[in-house]
Chain A
Amino acid sequence: AQTVTQSQPEMSVQEAETVTLSCTYDTSESNYYLFWYKQPPSRQMILVIRQEAYKQQNATENRFSVNFQKAAKSFSLKISDSQLGDTAMYFCAFMKPAAGNMLTFGGGTRLMVKP
């Protein structure tokens, strides 16, 4: 079974600065997908970014980028130019392609962006 670990329960960053959230995972698979989800106080789960394990290039979505280190089984999220609206819980998640394509989530990191 896959496990996903987020070692930072809480983090804070000043507005306009850069912050990196950590995620490690454990799997014996070679083909899989990794995701970061954002959950603001509204409780809605929002997909932030997606990475395919067979692609070496790190995914980027506007101010959000990842550092994917396959050998180290590490998948960190970098948020540049942090905005107040980035305040949320962030969840790292792992998917092994299979019937059902289930997502396994980490425990989450609560990010506070301070003005």
Chain B
Amino acid sequence: NAGVTQTPKFQVLKTGQSMTLQCAQDMNHNSMYWYRQDPGMGLRLIYYSASEGTTDKGEVPNGYNVSRLNKREFSLRLESAAPSQTSVYFCASSAGILGGYGYTFGSGTRLTVV
């Protein structure tokens, strides 16, 4: 099915370990996003990529890096995981040309840092 694919779905890390969350979309969307979801705080934007070749910080970028590998793929990297990064992570994409269109979301990654 067309959409946004995130891997992995679950991950447990030890403090200080690194990992990369992968995201790919097959809808030819221009813009891609990484959000984290914490209880009572909704979804907060970590990084986004308005178009291939560009990335920008969102509301909570500290401790993360991203790569827009090509138009389809947008990865999120935690270089040195901390317990505060325990969260559910969502990747999303949108056509992003004229604005006003909703996002298509991946199914999320539940990350626990111990």
A residues with a Cβ closer than 8 A to B are 4, 6, 9, 33, 35, 37, 42-45, 47, 50, 52, 91, 95, 97-108
Instruction: Report the contact-size class of chain B (Cβ under 8 Å from the partner).
Output: 20 to 34
A-B contact pairs, 16 of them (CB 8 A): A9-B40, A33-B99, A33-B100, A43-B107, A45-B103, A45-B105, A47-B102, A97-B100, A100-B50, A101-B94, A103-B33, A105-B35, A105-B42, A105-B43, A107-B40, A107-B41
* 0/1 interface trace, chain B 76-114, chain A, CB 8 Å (1 if under): 000000000000101010101011111101011000000
Is there contact, CB below 8 Å, between B102 and A50? Answer: yes
CA distance A92 to B98 in the complex (A): 21
* Residue B25 at the chain A interface, CB threshold 8 Å: no
B residues with a Cβ closer than 8 A to A are 31, 33, 35, 40-45, 48-50, 56, 58, 88, 90, 92, 94, 96, 98-103, 105, 107-108
A101 to chain B, nearest CB (A): 4
**In the complex, which residues of chain A have a beta carbon less than 8 angstroms from the beta carbon of B43?**
91, 103, 105
